[in-house]
Amino acid sequence: MTLALPRRASAEFAGTALLVTAVVGSGIAATRLSPSDVGLQLLENAIATALALGALILIFGPVSGAHLNPMVSAVDWWLGRRAGTGLTGRDLVTYAVAQVGGAITGAVLAHLMFGLPAATWSRTVRGGSHLLLAEVVATAGLVVLVFALARSGRTAAAPAAVGAWIGAAYWFTSSTSFANPAVTVGRAVTDTFAGIAPASVPGFLAAQLAGGVLAVAALALWYPHAADTAGDVVVPHLTRETEAR
């Protein structure tokens, strides 16, 4: 029996909020510290995001699995729906709402910490088929990674591995690897280094969905029994029984 849904949802809300705070806040700091070097700004943003993501998985993973990403949650539900190992439909909706709400809250928090207006629509247009292809690759790779770790019993490596994938994908994808629908929405309300114009959001969401579908196909080929361990994604969750020990 898993922990109560409100408790898990609160972890997903807080974890996603802090993730976006790290993404947006480090982007703001980078532009202030290195105003004339975009490459250095991206490096600073990527390192801070990768390290923060690993730490957040360690904090919230035992409570909710630390999905922090509606696409991870959706694939978890899809793979585990017949085996009864992943999220239920109710869990999925609750997680997704918590993640999106957390992402927007995280952007607001970053703004307030740096003395900016609470929210401003981004004017950074991110369009083009090359960026959408990059989002497909970034999202598919992330989803395959977390389910492969669970299926092979290596979830202890998830904080480092997931952080490493996102940190690296900042550099080897042209989109800088959003790979997360909630984070994409949250980054639409910040007109800073990490922002994405609202008009660009639907394309990114569609590409991330395509990446999730591609990941499901890849898992069916490479890890055909991934559904058996869907409940361990991103890391195994606490249960009432283990909590009481």
Average pLDDT along the chain: 95
**Secondary structure (DSSP) of 105-165:** HHHHHHHHHTT--S---------SHHHHHHHHHHHHHHHHHHHHHHHTT-GGGHHHHHHHH
Please check whether residue 26 is in contact with residue 174, taking contact to mean a CB–CB distance below 8 angstroms.
no
Note the pLDDT of residue 112.
98
The model's confidence at residue 237, banded by pLDDT at 50, 70 and 90, is confident
CB 215 within 8 A of CB 139: yes
238 confidence band (pLDDT: 50, 70, 90): low
Percent of the chain with pLDDT over 70: 96
- The total number of residues written for the chain in this structure: 245
User: pLDDT digits over 62-119, tens only?
Assistant: 999 999 999 999 999 999 998 889 999 999 999 999 999 999 999 999 999 999 999 9
In order of their start, the domains of the chain are 5-234 (1.20.1080.10)
| pLDDT tens string 110-148 | 999 999 999 999 999 999 999 999 999 999 999 999 999
Burial profile 50-65: b = 16 or more Cβ within 10 angstroms, e = fewer: bebbbebbeebbbbbb
- Those residues whose C-beta lies under 8 Å from the C-beta of residue 242, and which sit 6 or more positions away, are none
Task: Decide if pLDDT at 244 tops 60.
Answer: no
- The single-letter code of the amino acid at 112 is L
pLDDT > 60? residue 241? no
| Residue type, position 217, single letter | A
Residue 239 has pLDDT above 60, yes or no: no
Residue 186 has pLDDT above 50, yes or no: yes
